[in-house]
Amino acid sequence: MALGAQSAVDQDGVSNLLRGARFELMPFDSFNDELESLPAGSSIAITTSPQLGIEQTVERAEEAAAQGYEVVPHIAARYVEDEAQLASIAERLSDAGVNDVFIPGGDREEPAGEFTSAYDLLEVLDELPYSFEDIGITGYPEGHDFIEDEELAMAMDQKAPHATYIVTQLCYDPETILEWVESTRERGVDLPIEIGIPGVMNYQKLLQISQKVGVGDSIRFLRKTTGVFEFVRQLIGSRGVYEPDDLINGLSPYVEDEYYNIRGVHIYTFNQTPDLESWRQTRLA
Please name the fold of domain 7-279: TIM Barrel (3.20.20)
Every domain of the chain and the residues it spans:
7-279
Taking the C-alpha atoms of residue 238 and residue 243, their distance in angstroms, rounded to an integer, is 8
Residue pair 221/142 in contact by the 8 Å Cβ criterion = no
How are the residues of the chain apportioned to helix, strand and coil, as percentages rounded to the nearest 5?
A: 45, 15, 35
Per residue of the chain (285 residues), give pLDDT as tens: 455 555 588 999 999 999 999 999 999 999 999 999 999 999 999 999 888 999 999 999 999 999 999 999 999 999 999 999 999 999 999 999 999 999 999 988 899 999 999 999 999 999 999 989 999 999 998 877 677 888 889 999 999 999 999 999 888 889 999 999 999 999 999 999 999 998 898 766 665 655 544 434 445 555 554 455 565 666 666 567 888 999 999 999 999 999 999 999 999 998 889 999 999 999 999
Residue 171 vs residues 45, 116, 234, 279: alpha-carbon distances, Å: 18, 25, 12, 19
Amino acid at 15: S
* Per-residue pLDDT, 226: 46
Taking the C-alpha atoms of residue 142 and residue 259, their distance in angstroms, rounded to an integer, is 20
Taking the C-alpha atoms of residue 49 and residue 83, their distance in angstroms, rounded to an integer, is 20
Q: How many CA atoms lie within 13 A of 240 on its CB side?
A: 4
> Cβ neighbours of residue 193 under 8 Å, at least 6 residues apart?
139, 165, 166, 167, 168, 181, 184, 260, 261, 262, 263
Residue 7, classified by CB atoms within 10 Å of its CB into exposed (0-12), middle (13-18) or buried (19+), is exposed
Nearest in space to 3 (alpha carbons), one of 165, 187, 246: 246
Taking the C-alpha atoms of residue 62 and residue 8, their distance in angstroms, rounded to an integer, is 42
Nearest in space to 261 (alpha carbons), one of 170, 160, 197, 191: 191
* Per-residue pLDDT, 86: 98
Describe the crossing of helices 149-159 and 118-127 by its angle, rounded to 10 degrees: 0
Amino acid at 272: Q
